[in-house]
């Protein structure tokens, strides 16, 4: 195996713990806070979690460790998409576990939740874990998207846990995985298995966030990586002065990633899905909004620019969602066969025109042909439109081009418009964690073990006051049920952790709004450059702009 | 203007000069080397450059500065695509110029060579230049692609030079721009204008390289930036274990960028255009070669991988180039109208089938429909196929998918193949220069001024021994004519700098060949991570693998 110089150097990095966890295992005591209740639907959530609901918030503080002296056998899984720092959660967990008792055991179940079902695991050793400290990726044990949610799965997990003598399971995942962690914790408590369940908040999307969880891990590193390359593209745009770059970034359900990247790089335009939904913007509104910037800049002689688009943007446009729903309806069941039997696109277009409402037909007519065809020709096994396959950055730049052509005919716009397209997602999910994520994740893992050691279950590992230096961070735990409410999912009422969308009255968005008019006309680009792990503290220890603004 | 913390910190960086330039301006003397002759076509080149041909190689060394004490007014232009470090060439040039005489003047002509024609310039000051030290981009004065090559342009440049009292012009550019620098130098000498011309070797493509010029600037930073994100994608692939990533990197005429990225990241496959051309590989050969890796890895349970593809790859495939030539012929002049008048694609297909040779028709039939249509429907103003618009990474993955489907039918392949696509180019051309490029570029600029000060013209600023620490670098100059030969360009014999392709008997390629079989089956990924500007020297001062292998 060939290691890069950076990987070798990063092995030497000692992640920073919150001050109260630095005295050594024997000097960590618990301070119990208030009883908690869920953010909404309290009665329903309480009824669903009789054994784990309403527990107290806790924080750790300096003091005599009074936890029970028993051998711990902990299982850990990584769930869902990669996020930088996952390896550090596991190494923090391992270090606290071994510091407490050398005979404690950490088992890593492989390939995500399915590893727990299939009993596919590895026992962690110093030698093994040392290869992964402060590195990106989830390759230490792999990850997967199997959902642990059925009674049948829980029975199998219980058997696997009994086989290994597991005392606890740590689930590192996003909102869905932590919802499932809470349900599993309740199951384990109800069945008196003696297995505790602790969750850790992971997702680069930044949408697992609430008054208790200030940030999900990975968001910091991923957005800094995207901002690095976006800044480089901005500098290229401002040097060549001839292209408009449309840059899509990951984030399907929420636009936190796009917003953070915009705060870091100050592009000409950044679309925020939540705003588009709230203000019921149409595709034409979006195209006009961007075209206004293109035109204003062209009037200044600047025929170049940068636009950031969140991955899920078109799903936030109400008229587009309505169109998709109609198409799904139009092709449901037998009707798909009829459509498929039509010989050519022209005939199919008649079929479409007859089938859609006037309003949706107007939206459909606006779309470039490659998207029109994609909507009807590429459908998933259930016959539904595959919205996620639509290259929204190309769709939007194409609508902007149409709008500019109309303005050219009218004589109001005289510039040149050459769009280029980019998509950044996989580029940032496995970067070496920033110092922030390396520290935060290690602390989350270390802290998760302390929650286990003190006997808690159904808790999320919580490290807060994150905009301050690590010394001042606060470590503790929060019952997952506190973050839950009831939502309708696939026709059923389900208890779930509420997904955090970009708040349109929040400080990060408001700051963006206060600046974006100027950014859309002038060239105010900021070039963050590559993540630095060494060097001046202001360069290598800065948090996200989102966190800084939220906590200011 | 909002500066990122890294940008502020990088202003403080003092680039390292070669040892012999560190004693101060008064301690730099010239050591004259041997007379030079061009790499080929000596008589023809000599006849074309009677005033500048055959001059001596020179190096600088410690000793009394004996250069003429006259006021220098130097003009500088950036030419062609962006490359990290351009700003440092200018700041090195400026610092040497001002250290020699405070009254010396540096004029930056804006927007590339056209700035020299249009007399669009800015006079450099400390305050202005300090904003650009150690930063990426060419935004200091912009760049452009106008070629300075006609007698008429030279006359205008002579007038502009006379107006400002220019004593020298520095051209920062690639092989074409430096060829033009040599022609301009000859013109200026022949017409006794007193204007010297010095070139600096720039291009991220790495194809301006020869026995004298060990590396063009920008290649180091750009390839490290691409390798950072490629490494991140590899780690993601190895964590999720479900995608094959096809990654296209810039480099149309040569595959140096792809090769360097492969050496840094050890992907499963990297295609090298020069090899494909030399071995006359077909598209089917390429698809089979990649499919073999996919199949072997699937047999090991690894349905994921990473493939690096140079941007210009399909133009290296002989049968594809033949097809393009036939299509251009088929649609030349009036025939395009006939083709365009055909009502639908099916009819057009008959036209194509009649028009192509059997061999080219077989190649055409192999292509996915989106490429077939692109070849015929999207043509440039001269009616030619726009090969550069073809998404070669998608073309190749599509051919691999077809091949795998055939193998599936035969029963030899049983894996899953889910390809994803990426293109990296604009992401790296304007990154903050690595310490190497920051030092190298500053040295090139500083050195360029010393060449001016000692009265040289038609020289390329040359800094060598680059795999050693900067202290041991050797500064000097080389007549550009030494690097020239005669090539056929647009039907005319032209003196040009020979473009450096990947040498199939060179050390970097041979090292790659010795490893690639193992890499294609096993997972040997290396994760370089983000460029570091601070920290351990082995992390932040390493050169490219290409350079290290070449000089070992």
C-beta of residue A107 within 8 angstroms of C-beta of residue A123: yes
DSSP category for residue B307: E
Interface test with B, best of A2, A77, A394, A426 (most B CBs within 10 A): A426
Per-residue buried b or exposed e for B303-342, using 16+ beta carbons within 10 Å of the residue's own CB? bbbbbbbbbbbbbbbebbeebbebbeebbeeeeeeebeee
Collapsing DSSP states into helix, strand and coil, what is residue A33?
A: strand
Of A6, A431, A535, the CB nearest to B533: A535
Residue B53, pLDDT score: 97
Q: How far is B335 from chain A (nearest CA, A)?
A: 27
Residue A338, pLDDT score: 86
Residue B284: how many other CB atoms lie within 10 Å? 16
Rounded Cα distance, B338 and A532, in Å = 59
Paired tokens of B156: 């205008």
CB distance A5–B527 less than 8 Å? no
Write out chain A residues lying below 8 Å of B540, CB-based: 534
Q: What is the mean pLDDT of residues A310-332?
A: 92
Sites in chain B below the pLDDT cut of 70: none
pLDDT tier for residue A512 given thresholds of 50, 70 and 90: very high
Interface test with A, best of B115, B136, B139, B393 (most A CBs within 10 A): B139
Q: What is the mean pLDDT of residues A442-449?
A: 98
**Which residue from A minimizes the CA distance to B79?**
A240
**Which residue from B minimizes the CA distance to A224?**
B530
Please state, rounded to an integer, the average pLDDT across all residues of chain A: 95
DSSP string, A213-264: ----BTHHHHHHHHHHHHHHHHHHHHHH---EEEEEES-SS--HHHHHHHHH
Residue A180, pLDDT score: 96
Write out chain A residues lying below 8 Å of B423, CB-based: 422
Residue B293, pLDDT score: 98
Provide φ and ψ at B478, rounded to 5°.
-140, 130
Residue B490, pLDDT score: 80
Residue A401, pLDDT score: 98
Q: How far is B387 from chain A (nearest CA, A)?
A: 17
Does the pLDDT of residue A489 top 90, yes or no?
A: no
Write out chain A residues lying below 8 Å of B3, CB-based: 526
Residue A38, pLDDT score: 96
CB distance B422–A426 less than 8 Å? yes
Q: Is the pTM of this model over 0.95?
A: yes
CB distance B426–A5 less than 8 Å? no
Write out chain A residues lying below 8 Å of B228, CB-based: 431, 530
Write out chain A residues lying below 8 Å of B5, CB-based: 536, 538-539, 542
Write out chain B residues lying below 8 Å of A344, CB-based: 344
Does the pLDDT of residue A117 top 80, yes or no?
A: yes
CA distances from B44 to B37, B40, B184, B196 (A): 11, 9, 17, 23
Rounded Cα distance, A68 and A164, in Å = 20
Q: What is the mean pLDDT of residues A247-256?
A: 95
Sheet arrangement for strand A419-424: A269-270, A305-310, A244-249, A419-424
Residue B383, pLDDT score: 73
Per-residue buried b or exposed e for A244-256, using 16+ beta carbons within 10 Å of the residue's own CB? bbbbbbbbbbbbb
Residue B205: active-site member = yes
Collapsing DSSP states into helix, strand and coil, what is residue A301?
A: coil
Given the residues A95, A175, A176, A205, select the one marked as catalytic. A205
From the list A277, A231, A226, the residue with the least C-alpha distance to A254 is: A277
**Which residue from B minimizes the CA distance to A8?**
B539
Residue A384, pLDDT score: 79
Q: How far is B435 from chain A (nearest CA, A)?
A: 13
Contacts of A349 (CB under 8 A, 6+ apart): none
Is the ipTM, as predicted for this complex, more than 0.90? yes
CA distances from B417 to A81, A333, B293, B303, B367 (A): 19, 29, 12, 7, 19
Please write the tens of the pLDDT for every residue from A375-413.
Answer: 887 777 777 788 888 899 999 999 999 999 999 999 999
Of A7, A82, A239, the CB nearest to B139: A239
Residues in chain A: 552
Residue A179, pLDDT score: 96
Angle between helices A283-299 and A358-366 (to 10 degrees): 30
**Which residue from B minimizes the CA distance to A543?**
B5
Rounded Cα distance, A435 and A79, in Å = 23
Paired tokens of A318: 């109400």
From the list A36, A27, A39, A98, the residue with the least C-alpha distance to A64 is: A27
Residue B336, pLDDT score: 82
Please write the tens of the pLDDT for every residue from A71-100.
Answer: 999 999 999 999 999 999 999 999 999 999
CB distance B7–A527 less than 8 Å? yes
Collapsing DSSP states into helix, strand and coil, what is residue A464?
A: strand
C-beta of residue B178 within 8 angstroms of C-beta of residue B460: yes
Collapsing DSSP states into helix, strand and coil, what is residue A378?
A: coil
Residues in chain B: 552
Rounded Cα distance, B185 and B174, in Å = 16
Please write the tens of the pLDDT for every residue from A186-245.
Answer: 999 999 999 999 999 999 999 999 989 999 999 999 999 999 999 999 999 999 999 999
Per DSSP bridges, beta strands B244-249 and B305-310 are parallel
DSSP category for residue B240: H
Q: How far is B546 from chain A (nearest CA, A)?
A: 15
Please write the tens of the pLDDT for every residue from A333-350.
Answer: 788 888 888 888 888 889
Residue B192: how many other CB atoms lie within 10 Å? 8
Give the range among A34-48, A312-326, A381-395 with minimum mean pLDDT. A381-395
More confident residue, A36 or B252: A36
A467 phi-psi bin (left φ>0, alpha ψ -120 to 50, beta other)? alpha
Name residue, tokens 């730049």: A397
Rounded Cα distance, B145 and B123, in Å = 22
Given the residues B175, B176, B205, B302, select the one marked as catalytic. B205
CB distance B236–A426 less than 8 Å? yes
């Amino acid at each position: 195996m060939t290691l890069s110089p950076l990987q070798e150097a990063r092995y030497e990095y000692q992640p920073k713990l919150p001050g109260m966890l630095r005295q050594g295992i024997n000097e960590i005591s618990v301070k119990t806070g208030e009883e908690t209740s869920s953010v909404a639907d309290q009665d329903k959530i309480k009824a669903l979690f009789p054994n784990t609901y309403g527990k107290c918030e806790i924080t750790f503080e300096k003091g005599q460790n009074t936890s029970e002296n028993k051998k711990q056998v902990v299982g850990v899984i990584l769930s869902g998409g990669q996020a930088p720092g996952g390896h550090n959660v596991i190494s923090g967990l391992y270090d606290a576990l071994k510091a407490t008792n050398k005979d404690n055991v950490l088992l890593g179940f492989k390939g995500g939740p399915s590893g727990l079902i299939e009993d596919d695991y590895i026992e962690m050793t110093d030698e093994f874990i040392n290869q992964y400290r402060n590195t990106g990726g989830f390759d230490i044990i792999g990850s997967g998207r199997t959902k642990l949610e059925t009674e049948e799965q829980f029975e199998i997990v219980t058997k696997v846990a009994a086989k290994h003598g597991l005392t606890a399971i740590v689930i590192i995942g996003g909102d869905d995985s932590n919802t499932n962690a809470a349900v599993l914790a309740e199951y384990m408590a109800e069945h008196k298995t003696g297995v505790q369940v602790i969750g850790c908040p992971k997702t680069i999307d930044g949408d697992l966030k609430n008054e208790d969880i200030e940030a999900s891990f990975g968001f910091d590193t991923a957005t800094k990586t995207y901002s690095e390359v976006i800044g480089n593209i901005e500098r290229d745009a401002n040097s060549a002065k001839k292209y408009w770059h449309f840059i899509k970034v990951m984030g399907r359900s929420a636009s936190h990633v796009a917003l953070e990247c915009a705060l870091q790089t100050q592009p000409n335009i950044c679309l925020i899905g939540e705003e588009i939904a709230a203000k019921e913007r149409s595709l034409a509104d979006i195209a006009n909004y961007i075209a206004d910037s293109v035109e204003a800049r062209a009037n200044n002689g600047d025929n170049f620019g940068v636009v950031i688009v969140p991955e899920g943007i078109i799903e936030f446009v109400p008229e587009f969602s309505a169109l998709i729903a109609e198409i799904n309806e139009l092709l449901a069941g037998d009707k798909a066969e009829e459509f498929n039997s039509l010989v050519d696109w022209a005939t199919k277009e008649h079929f479409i025109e007859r089938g859609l409402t006037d309003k949706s037909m107007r939206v459909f007519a606006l779309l470039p042909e490659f998207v029109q065809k994609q909507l009807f020709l590429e459908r998933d096994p259930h016959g539904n439109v595959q919205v996620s396959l639509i290259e929204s950055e190309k769709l939007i730049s194409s609508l902007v081009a149409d709008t500019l052509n109309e303005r050219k005919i009218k004589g109001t716009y005289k510039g040149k418009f050459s769009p280029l397209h980019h998509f950044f997602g996989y580029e940032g999910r496995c970067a070496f964690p920033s110092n922030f994520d390396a520290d935060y994740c290690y602390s989350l893992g270390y802290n998760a073990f302390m929650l286990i050691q003190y006997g808690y279950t159904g808790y999320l590992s919580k490290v807060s006051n994150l905009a301050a230096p690590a010394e001042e961070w606060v470590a503790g735990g929060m019952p997952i049920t506190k973050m839950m409410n009831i939502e309708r999912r696939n026709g059923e009422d389900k208890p779930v952790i509420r997904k955090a969308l970009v708040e349109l009255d929040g400080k990060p968005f408001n700051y963006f709004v206060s600046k974006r008019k100027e950014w859309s006309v002038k060239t105010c680009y900021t070039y963050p450059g590559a993540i630095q792990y060494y060097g001046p503290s202001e360069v290598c220890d800065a948090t996200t702009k989102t966190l800084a603004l939220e906590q200011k």
